[in-house]
Chains A and B, each alone.
Chain A
Amino acid sequence: MPTRRTLLHVSAALAAAPLSPAQDHARHGLTQIENAAPKVARFFNRREMALLAQLVEQIIPRSDTPGAADANVHYFVDFQAHTNRRLGAQLKKDLAWIRKQGFDRADGARQVALLSAWSTAKGADSYRVFKQIKDLTIDGYYGSKEGLAQELGWNANTFLREFKGCTHPEHGA
């Protein structure tokens, strides 16, 4: 049976031990991302990007955690359009339609009113436009560090010695 002394030796050795290949690999990845270049739009023009930023921020606004525009979700949508030209062409048309509705010039309350109308018009084209941008916003935001880690509290894909699972005796009783 290990003594307290041997356990302490083991702990000290683990603390001083070099990273495992997997940990080292993960850290390497982090470094690469920290050095990433600033965001640049690849598909939409500046006006379209500004409109997209307004839309995604209304769908998931800033609260005590960042909103979708803080998380650069409009750049995420831009990249999806860049890699899927069919989607991109559709989104360009949709953004033009949204501008025609006066969304980009409206104040916050009016923007919310417009989105509310579109979001409840199931079956209408305005709903399709809203739903597509909403779904892209969800993918973008809840896959971002701001949305997934800060807002939802995800802290996983790590290295654990033990998986404790549910520690609540009352659960499933």
Chain B
Amino acid sequence: MYVQNAPEVHDVIVIGSGAAGGMAAWNLTRQGVNVTLLDAGTRFRREDFWTHVKPWQWRERVERGMAPPKIRLDNDEQPYSWKDPNYFELIRVWGRGGKTNIWGRVALRYSDVDFAGPARDGWEIPWPIRYKDIAPYYDKVEQEIGVCGGDDDQDSLPGSRFHLPPPALRCGERFLQSAARRQGIRVVNQRRAVVTKPHNGHNPCHFCGACGRGCDVSAFFNSTDYLLDPAEKSGKLKIIDNAVVARILLGENGLANGVQYFDRYTKQERVIRGKRIVLGASCVDSTRILLNSKSAQYPTGIGNSSGVIGHYLCEQVRFHMYGFIPELMGTRPLNDDGIGGEHIYMPRFNHRDGRKRDYLRGYGSQFWGVGAQPGAAYAKQLDGFGLEFKKAVKRRYPALVAMHPYGETLPRKENRITVEGTPLDRYGVPTLRIEYSIGDNERKMIAEMYDMAEGVMRAAKAEILPFERGALDNFGSAIHEHGTCRMGEDPKRSALNGFNQMHDVKNLFVVDGSAFTTASEKNPTLTILALAWRSTDYLAEQIRKGDI
């Protein structure tokens, strides 16, 4: 006799293992909820990282056919397209921890300058939350993962009592900080999720500066070591590897009841059933999944009665400006590695300097690449060759400074992710297409960002390398996609409520950057972590009450 067993129905299915999915799994399991997590890849082996491979050793290894671990997803494996001429650089990581393996670690709190911005200027919908709603979660996240930073506190960048000690500033950073001060602009300690002293059992940073290759001692927050491993130890978390999610399935009762996924390598189709689903596969991939989850009830994607899913894609506009501080030219180079990346940050200030502007929102600045670097790409912008050229390169080497402003882009309906009529991927699922452009608001802001950067450089008396005013880094290269499944109070104009819960499908939560109502000028990961913690606190409470 053939007996068909009823499929297992999981308490909560979490999709994605990065900051969003990792936080959801960790927070739910520690509250006693059983979680099954679908990860599109597998664990990256920390011992394989090329963290301590010198540049010339790297070259030798590559010439001998070796390669560092492939952390970034190869776009040939999962293609995407964009609307010409606006190339959108999409960087994804499929595998345990997602982009937190190699992220920039900048950990900035949003403020009410950000959360209340749309309500103040009237551009698109307001956020359904304010700083007071999320502040306790910023506190908790910072205490849990370890964020180093200073004791500054301002309206655009709220302070924290929980920062670990900030790293000392490099010589060039002190010159830039001082120059900005003379321009009336405050530059503070950068805040990064780097453990600058032992914290919660995590190794401290040893200041090798190679964070972008993955940290071999896990001294910065990554979802694998900081969230998923502890969650697995609780016995409440089950992870399914190489599960490339295609669709979220809808039951007859209007609730999500499962997930269709494909094994990444065998391409075998599988379905897993669950009572609640938390989607945290990154803004772009989560949007692809939602839009592909079509049904009679939701012909344009699950939970999309508002029609906003896929629209209002926001990323930030950025550029680099480089120069050399005269006082540092010809000095003895120091080991400038530090915690990798700059140790200073310029919070947004344009809302309070008394100037009237003809654009909305604002910008801040980072300062990538100050001091002695593992290379001298700037030499390509110096004229000449021969011994004098060689001397000129050497003389400037310790003196390099950089400005790297980030500006907010407004959410616009026409900036969107679609799956309609796109080529199918290797599993037969429509791939994503990105349409993205900036408007007059951004162009006006960019002009001022250039003025600001040049002003600070000139105040530092820097020899500025040639730059093309108005030039930008590739769209997408900040890797800060937001807004395509936004939260809001009005179900007709938003897909999620203030707890990242779908208006339409109450047992489906979306906890990554797609949930953001606006992008701000800040790096989003700390806010993703805080929102995911808050959202899954709410979900756990609903489960306890039996409401979901």
Contact = CB atoms under 8 A, between A and B. Distances in A.
Nearest to A122: B383
Interface string A127-148: 0000000110011001111011
Contacts of B178: 172-173
B56 interface: yes
A33 B209 contact: no
A163 B377 contact: no
Interface string A66-79: 00000000001001
Contacts of A165: 167-171, 173, 338, 343
Interface of B: 47, 50-57, 59-61, 63-64, 167-171, 173-178, 206-210, 216-217, 327-328, 332-339, 343, 372-377, 379-380, 383-387, 389-390, 393-394, 397
Contacts of A153: 332-333, 372, 397
Contact of A156 (B175, B374, B394): B374
B208 A159 contact: yes
Contact of A163 (B175, B207, B379): B207
Contacts of A54: none
Contacts of B375: 139, 142-143, 148
A59 B387 CA distance: 8
Contacts of A119: 383-385
Interface of A: 20-23, 25-26, 29-30, 32-33, 36, 58-61, 63, 76, 79, 112, 115, 119, 134-135, 138-139, 142-145, 147-148, 151-166, 168, 171-173
Contacts of A161: 206
Given A58-B386, A145-B56, A151 B394 contact: yes
A67 to B, nearest CB: 8
A41 to B, nearest CB: 12
Given A36-B60, A61-B390, A160-B207, A154 B374 contact: yes
Contacts of B57: 29-30, 33
A151 to B, nearest CB: 6
Contacts of A164: 168
A151 B174 contact: no
A53 B367 CA distance: 37
Nearest to B66: A32
Contact of A172 (B63, B177, B210, B372): B177
Contact of B389 (A20, A30, A59, A145): A59
A152 B333 contact: yes
A80 B523 CA distance: 35
A156 B47 contact: no
A145 B210 CA distance: 17
Contact of B61 (A32, A63, A115): A32
Nearest to B336: A156
A160 B335 CA distance: 10
A120 B200 CA distance: 59
28 contacts: A21-B217, A30-B57, A32-B61, A58-B386, A79-B63, A138-B393, A143-B56, A144-B55, A144-B56, A145-B56, A148-B56, A154-B333, A157-B210, A158-B208, A158-B337, A160-B207, A160-B337, A161-B206, A163-B339, A165-B171, A165-B173, A166-B170, A171-B171, A171-B174, A171-B327, A171-B328, A172-B174, A172-B176
